Structure 1
Amino acid sequence: TTIYTYNAAGELTSTTTPPTYASPSGITTSYTYDPDGNITSVTTPAGTTTYVYNADGERTSVTNGAGTSQAATTSYSYDSLGNVSQTTNPQGDITTYGYQNPAYPSLQTSVTDPLDRTTSYTYNSNGEMANKATPISQQSFFYNPAGQLVQSSTMSSSTSVPKIPTELLVGDMGGSQVTPVNLQSSSPTPGPPIQVGQDPVDIIVSSDGRTAYVANNGQGGGSTVSIVNTQTNQVTGTIDIGTSTAPGGLALALSPNGENLYVGDTHNATVSVVSTTTDTVVATI
């Protein structure tokens, strides 16, 4: 049986747990209070922790090991709304807190640690945390209509972000050139078209956006793949694939790691495997 005692104000002043082999008399925890009913101390066999409050009843300090040489105090400051604005740990390190959301003035919008690293928080119209940004990562949170978290995503400073293309390569089927088109202006990029092989029928771009591969049908001649540097819009090489006898007979695909280019010949029912390291055909399937 655990024993509880109270003072005249009905405040809990002590608890004593049942005796055990390790604690034959049980373990007693004692509590003291100020006139406003705030706990001012908690004493256990391990020591005493004391609490200090300001005139508004806000806790301004907590001292662990009070009355001993190991006493350690953490102090707190508050803004005009009663939000904790600053904490100082026993070593004197300061952490500050910001509250800049007018709709929800008690929601924390920033925390700056003693090393001056800031974590920021934003919220949606329901007061639910929508984003958390640290110096090295960003998290986004998504909720259902009931306010339950249904999805979160994290992007770190080392996360690879796919490059958003600003240019589109348009092939001239039946001709022998590819025209770069600016996606922002929807007009051809200044400069001459890129001269590739005869009858370009498919184009694919590497995941880093630096290299484009243009499949040229050849219109009965030898089908080829032109390698284009998208930074300079210059052809840097040509890969001989074989023969395709009808227009539109080639299709391109890249392996997930970008190490192989696959050239499908729909008329001859073959796939040529090209090493993007050596720019040579290494197999035909």
Structure 2
Amino acid sequence: MGEGGVLVEWDWWTVDFGDAHAGAVGVLVGGGEPGPVYFDVGSGSYVPSTRHWSAYDGRYRRPRAEALRAVCACGWRGAAEYPMDWATIGDRPLYEADVDLTGPLADWTAHLSVVREATVPLPEPLAVLLIEMAGRLNAAAEDAPLAALRAAGVLERIASRVGREAVGALCDDSPSAEAVATGLGTTYSKALVTTSALLAFGFAGADCARKRVVSPAARTLRAAGDTVSMSCTDFAGPDHEQGGAFDHDWC
């Protein structure tokens, strides 16, 4: 969902980076990006709108795209612009026209390569295992959907616990939001939520008692509905119990 509730339909998405680097075809009109296209659905307070490139076809007083380029959810914009051939398109809606999108797709793919190059590399055995697991889950979703759903739940719980353990291992480094964002290939804002919760109280080190405490900052983020996987901190003794609320089910 984009600004002001405007629906943004992303054209490309990867498991590697998810929504943080979803890609789309961007529209240029008069050298800049136009506002959203609104659809007249009659009376009522809700007016649907979109920024999908195919809506900018000049019909019904909509803006008409002059050129296309690649855009990414992270804010990146492709430098190359691809002019629209309206002489060939004619009066057809863009969703019916055979518009060549290979240029924007290639530019977005190149952008992802730069992002991927800066991320922390996965050990080769782990990368292979993840690919194999994804293939097996996809096959199970077709052949045994209930079993696939159960397996997905197991993996989700494993990932949640492993994520918390990984945070604990990183605590001594006190990584910045920028470092986390680069290493994970995510956006600064998402990394900021993560590291704010992680660094809210600090960690007690390797000798700390294995007690999980949720910081006030983490509770605030949780109450706001944010998903915080780096919110539980380890403290060294009962003197710290007043610093946060115990939440054994979550932590």
User: Given the two structures, how large is their TM-score scaled by the length of structure 1?
Assistant: 0.19
Greater RCO (CA < 8 Å, at least 6 residues apart): 2
Q: Which structure shows the higher strand fraction?
A: 1
Larger Rg: 1
Q: Which structure shows the higher helix fraction?
A: 2
